[in-house]
């Protein structure tokens, strides 16, 4: 059982919602806070899909349940930001899952331990459940870096209060932030490009403003040595993750060691920092073929496998 609140963000995918909810149920959180955006106007299918996803939430354990359901479609940035902010009016810290983030059972244990251990360390702002770089780069069971992976995570009210949807701090301090981060120029340029697309409205995201807020404050994120989240949502029904062959999709999870080894100090691990940002923004995942096969081969295999359905 986890004593920390779990915030569960759902929308219109009942099948994914049910799979993730079954893992939340197994963790028996004392507090469950469910956030849902409203259906897109004029879409009967969206209304039905939203209703089906909401119907999954049936609590059969001792739990304080809050349903924060919007009847209006606000979009992912406004809905998730407003929902998490409202939840933190009740809680000082929370574990956060979206409907496509399937957690390993140890994810809840890891979040519980980190939330307690770093409760009063203001520079620690985000706890990741996902890890996409090789465990060999880690000296301990987790490392401090500055990439706030949004797929299964945890944070504190004290940290979330600093989120700036306009990303003013990052954009005004861009040069000094780049020097502090010590990542490749290519990775920083791509990161900056993404943030500018969010600011211009070309991309709708709450996660990039959150990341930029952490970087502006020179905050730290915790990344586990083992991956604890599998993103099952890649495909045509996803808002941002439409490629089912993405190296980020359906990554296997692993259990934690019986005893965690902790970093000697709360400080940026520059090796892990470079590896993570190169993976997400430097194109390293394309070179490696992270899931075993290069993406072109995987796509060819998918086409061949589905040829009879054409």
- What is the full DSSP assignment across 71-135? SS---HHHHHHHHHHHHTTT-SEEEEEETTEEE-HHHHHHHHHHHHHTTT-TTEEEEES---S-G
Give yes or no for residue 101 having a pLDDT over 60: yes
Task: Please name every residue paired with 143 in a beta bridge, in sequence order, or none if there are none.
Answer: 223
Per-residue confidence band for 288, with pLDDT thresholds at 50, 70 and 90: very low
- What pLDDT score does 1 carry? 84
Alpha-carbon span 198 to 196, nearest angstrom: 5
Those residues with Cβ within 8 angstroms of residue 40's Cβ, 6 or more apart along the chain or in another chain: 46, 73
Q: Are 66 and 41 in contact (CB under 8 A)?
A: no
Among 209, 214, 219, which residue's Cα sits nearest to residue 165? 209
3 state SS of 174: helix
**pLDDT at residue 231, as a whole number:** 93
C-alpha span between 107 and 123 (Å, rounded): 22
Helix (H, G, I), strand (E, B) or coil at 159: helix
Q: What are phi and psi of 131, to 5 degrees?
A: -140, 125
**Contact between 95 and 2 (Cβ < 8 Å):** yes
> Which residue carries 């897109």 as its tokens?
40
The residue with greater pLDDT, 244 or 116, is 116
Over range 256-277, report the average pLDDT: 97
Considering only 25-34, 66-75, 238-247, 264-273, which range has the smallest mean pLDDT?
238-247
Give mean pLDDT, residues 140-151: 98
pLDDT at 282: 84
Using the structure block, give the residue that is written with the tokens 């979330």.
160
Dihedrals φ, ψ of 152, to 5°? 80, 105
For residue 126, which phi and psi values (nearest 5 degrees)? -150, 140
Please state whether the predicted TM-score (pTM) of the whole model is above 0.85: yes
Mean pLDDT (whole number) for 8-23: 98
Torsion (CA) 297, 298, 300, 304 in degrees, nearest 10: 130
The values of phi and psi at residue 156, to 5°, are -115, 155
With a CB cutoff of 8 Å and minimum separation 6, the contacts of 246 are 234, 295
What gap in Å lies between CA 28 and CA 50, rounded to an integer? Answer: 24
Q: Which band of pLDDT confidence, cut at 50, 70 and 90, is reported for residue 35?
A: very high
Which tokens sit at 39? 């259906």
Looking at residue 293, what is its pLDDT?
42
Report the run of H or E that residue 26 belongs to, with start and end: helix 14-27
Percent of the chain predicted with pLDDT > 70: 87
What pLDDT is recorded for position 244? 58
Decide: helix, strand or coil at residue 7: strand
pLDDT at 240 over 50: no
Residue 265 exposed, middle or buried by CB count within 10 Å (0-12, 13-18, 19+): exposed
Q: 287 falls in which pLDDT band (50, 70, 90)?
A: very low
Between 287 and 99, where is the model more confident? 99
Alpha helices in 228-291 (DSSP H): 270-281, 284-288
Task: Give the pLDDT band of residue 292 (cuts 50, 70, 90).
Answer: very low
């Amino acid at each position: 059982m986890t004593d920390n609140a779990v915030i569960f963000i759902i929308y219109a995918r009942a099948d994914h919602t049910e799979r993730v909810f079954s893992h939340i149920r197994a963790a028996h959180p004392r507090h469950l806070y469910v956030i849902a955006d409203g259906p897109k106007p004029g879409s009967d299918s969206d209304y039905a899909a939203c209703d089906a996803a909401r119907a999954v939430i049936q609590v059969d354990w001792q739990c304080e349940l809050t349903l924060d359901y919007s009847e209006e479609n606000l979009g992912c940035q406004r809905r998730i930001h407003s929902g998490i902010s409202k939840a933190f009016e009740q809680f000082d810290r929370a574990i956060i899952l979206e409907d496509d983030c399937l957690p390993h059972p140890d994810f809840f244990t890891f979040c519980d331990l980190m939330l307690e251990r770093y409760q009063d360390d203001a520079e620690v702002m985000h706890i990741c459940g996902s890890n996409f770089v090789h465990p060999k780069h880690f000296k301990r069971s987790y490392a401090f870096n500055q990439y706030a992976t949004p797929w299964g995570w945890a944070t504190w009210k004290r940290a979330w209060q600093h989120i700036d949807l306009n990303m003013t701090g990052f954009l005004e301090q861009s040069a000094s932030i780049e020097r502090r981060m010590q990542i490749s120029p290519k990775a920083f340029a791509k990161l900056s490009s993404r943030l500018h697309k969010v600011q211009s409205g070309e991309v709708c995201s709450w996660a990039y403003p959150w990341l930029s807020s952490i970087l502006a404050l020179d905050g730290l994120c915790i990344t586990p040595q083992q991956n604890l989240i599998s993103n099952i949502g890649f495909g045509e029904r996803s808002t941002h993750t439409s490629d089912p062959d993405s190296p980020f999709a359906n990554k296997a999870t692993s259990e934690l060691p019986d005893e965690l080894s902790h970093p000697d100090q709360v400080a940026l691990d520059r090796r892990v920092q470079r590896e993570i940002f190169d993976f997400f923004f430097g194109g390293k995942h394309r070179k490696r073929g992270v899931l075993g096969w290069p993406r072109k081969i995987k796509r060819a295999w998918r086409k061949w496998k589905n040829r009879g359905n054409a």
